[in-house]
Amino acid sequence: MLDRHIPRRGADRILRLLEQFPAVGLVGPRQVGKTDLARRVLAPDAQCVHLDLEDPSDLQRLSDPLLYFSSLPDARFVIDEVQRLPELFSALRVAIDRDRRPGRYLLLGSASPELLRRSADSLAGRIAYVRLHPFDLSELASQEDTLRLWNRGGFPLSFLAAQETHSWEWRRHYLASLVERDLPLLGLSTSPTELRRFLTMLAHVHGQLLNKSALSRNMGWTLPNVDRHLEVLQSAYLIRLVAAWHANLGKRLVRAPKVFLADSGLLHALLGIPHIEALLGHPSVGASWEGFVLQQLDSLRTPEDELAHYRTQDGTEADLLWVRHGKPLALFECKGSSAPRLSKGNTIAANDLDVQHRFVVSPVRSAFPQREAFVVVPPFELADRLAEL
């Protein structure tokens, strides 16, 4: 692995929330770096106790959580993989109500529906959440990392692998672990073979309108079963659905969301794309680039911002919209070419929506203007451009 520490943007927010709330939940997919971030954030705290609920000895310590917490009145607890012990949440509620000092509990979870539901029920008003994304370009601080990040994805052990083949093998093993262990733990009883097939099918429609009927037909599943699997995959941050933008524009709008794999590296593993040269010549390169741009935007999004797509029945479309308080502020066309060309439908969409900030995101070195007030920008500039909205 490359000897490189990459500071995470969520660190300051975690520290700030630990000063305000009795508990903070750090959520995100497995292997995204939650444990490492928690250790770095709380490294100066000598009273910090780290419990990993995948370790039987740590699990045993919490056989009586209230007794254990009260036995260490000055400690701060980091509890990893907390979704593995759902009954812990009710005990935490009692412990917090007895002692509401802020910052005593940092809960790390792989964002299972069980985690979110039980913590919402038991810890309402007592917990704040931070989501940890895979690496994005604003964290990497080097434009030279663009192609590596696009190809390998943002999971630390994939991105920082010393060799391309090591990154490829890590992602293949990660997917195997997902379908054999992690997704069944989240409540999916489907066989690993079927789960892998479903993920692969989603990879092949990455960036397209979600067609649940086609998925149901091809998998031989009922529509409720498709819905259940999509819900779990979203809750585990493995896929991302981008809703259609609705407005009274006097046009017939497409209302279906678009579906994306949430990490470009996992997408490429599912599609059998082992390196950047194979990616650049693959039929899915355009869809992959759009998903990569979505990843960058999603990691920069604040709670008041939403991402949407826009499409009419006659083919007018905008890849991604940045929406704040119900108003589109920026439009992003994603073109995986260093010489991008806008379509007529792209420019019509921008004018339909009357969006002032219009961007074409492409793998270019520096920004330059395009027609109809569009600006071609590299993904590395997105954070600065969004700061101007």
For position 208, what pLDDT does the model report?
Answer: 97
Whether residues 120 and 186 share a domain: the answer is no
For 329-349, write each residue's pLDDT tens digit: 999 999 999 899 998 888 998
pTM, two decimal places = 0.93
**Does residue 3 sit within a domain?**
no
**Does residue 291 sit within a domain?**
yes
What is the rounded average pLDDT of the residues 170-191?
A: 92
pLDDT cut 90: percent of the chain above it: 75
What is the rounded average pLDDT of the residues 245-253?
A: 74
Residues 175 and 196 sit within 8 Å (Cβ to Cβ): yes
Q: What is the CA radius of gyration of the chain?
A: 22
Whether residues 205 and 265 share a domain: the answer is yes
For 188-220, write each residue's pLDDT tens digit: 889 999 999 999 999 999 999 999 999 999 999
pLDDT at 7 over 80: yes
pLDDT at 144 over 70: yes
Distance CA 307, CA 137 (A): 18
pLDDT at 304 over 70: yes
For position 185, what pLDDT does the model report?
Answer: 83
CA angle 150, 258, 310 (to 5 degrees): 105
pLDDT at 319 over 70: yes
Q: Who wins on pLDDT, 315 or 332?
A: 332
pLDDT at 116 over 90: no
DSSP element (H, E) containing 344? helix 344-353
For position 277, what pLDDT does the model report?
Answer: 95
pLDDT cut 70: percent of the chain above it: 96
Residues 124 and 23 sit within 8 Å (Cβ to Cβ): no
Whether residues 230 and 156 share a domain: the answer is yes
Residues 317 and 345 sit within 8 Å (Cβ to Cβ): yes
Whether residues 211 and 66 share a domain: the answer is no
Whether residues 68 and 93 share a domain: the answer is yes
Whether residues 123 and 143 share a domain: the answer is no
For position 314, what pLDDT does the model report?
Answer: 83
Whether residues 126 and 272 share a domain: the answer is no
Q: What is the DSSP letter of 207?
A: T
Give the range among 51-55, 282-286, 343-347 with minimum mean pLDDT. Answer: 343-347
For position 250, what pLDDT does the model report?
Answer: 59
Closest by alpha carbon to 233, among 123, 111, 352? 111
Whether residues 18 and 152 share a domain: the answer is no
Residues 188 and 232 sit within 8 Å (Cβ to Cβ): yes
The parent domain of residue 115 ranges over 10-131
Residues 364 and 293 sit within 8 Å (Cβ to Cβ): no
What's the mean pLDDT when you consider all of the chain?
Answer: 92
Whether residues 158 and 46 share a domain: the answer is no
DSSP element (H, E) containing 47? none
Q: Sorting pLDDT into bands at 50, 70 and 90, what band is 260?
A: very high
Distance CA 301, CA 242 (A): 13
What is the rounded average pLDDT of the residues 98-114?
A: 85
Residues 382 and 298 sit within 8 Å (Cβ to Cβ): no
83 torsion bin: left (phi>0), alpha (psi -120 to 50), beta (else): alpha
Q: At what angle do helices 223-235 and 192-204 cross, to 10 degrees?
A: 80
For 20-35, write each residue's pLDDT tens digit: 999 999 999 999 999 9
Distance CA 72, CA 51 (A): 13
Q: Which of 98, 131, 164 is the last residue of a domain?
A: 131
pLDDT at 268 over 90: yes
Whether residues 231 and 332 share a domain: the answer is yes
**Averaging pLDDT over each range in 103-117, 178-192, 207-221, which range is the top one?**
207-221
Domain CATH for 43: 3.40.50.300
Residues 45 and 76 sit within 8 Å (Cβ to Cβ): yes
pLDDT at 154 over 70: yes
The whole-angstrom distance between residue 207's C-alpha and the CA centroid of its chain comes to 15
**What's the domain count of the chain?**
2
Residues 271 and 172 sit within 8 Å (Cβ to Cβ): no
Q: How many CB atoms lie within 10 A of CB 334?
A: 23
Q: How many CB atoms lie within 10 A of CB 79?
A: 25
**Does residue 4 sit within a domain?**
no
For position 6, what pLDDT does the model report?
Answer: 87
At 68, list the tokens: 């254990």
Maximum Cα interatomic distance, the chain, rounded to a whole number of Å: 68
Whether residues 123 and 148 share a domain: the answer is no
Q: Which residues of 175-213 are buried (b: 16+ CB within 10 A; e: fewer)?
A: beebbeebbeebebebeeebbbebbeebbebbbeebeee
For position 186, what pLDDT does the model report?
Answer: 83
For position 252, what pLDDT does the model report?
Answer: 81
Closest by alpha carbon to 356, among 344, 372, 379? 372
What is the rounded average pLDDT of the residues 83-103?
A: 91
Whether residues 158 and 273 share a domain: the answer is yes
Write down the number of H helices and E strands in the chain.
Answer: 19, 14
Q: How many CB atoms lie within 10 A of CB 161?
A: 20
Taken in order 375, 381, 382, 386, the sign of the CA dihedral is: negative
Q: How many CA atoms lie within 13 A of 177 on its CB side?
A: 10
Q: Which of 75, 110, 131 is the last residue of a domain?
A: 131
For position 122, what pLDDT does the model report?
Answer: 78
Backbone φ and ψ for 110, nearest 5 degrees, come out as -85, 30
pLDDT at 69 over 80: yes
Q: Which residue has the tokens 């309402």?
A: 124
Q: Which of 131, 163, 196 is the last residue of a domain?
A: 131
At 254, list the tokens: 């497409």
For position 87, what pLDDT does the model report?
Answer: 84
pLDDT at 247 over 80: no
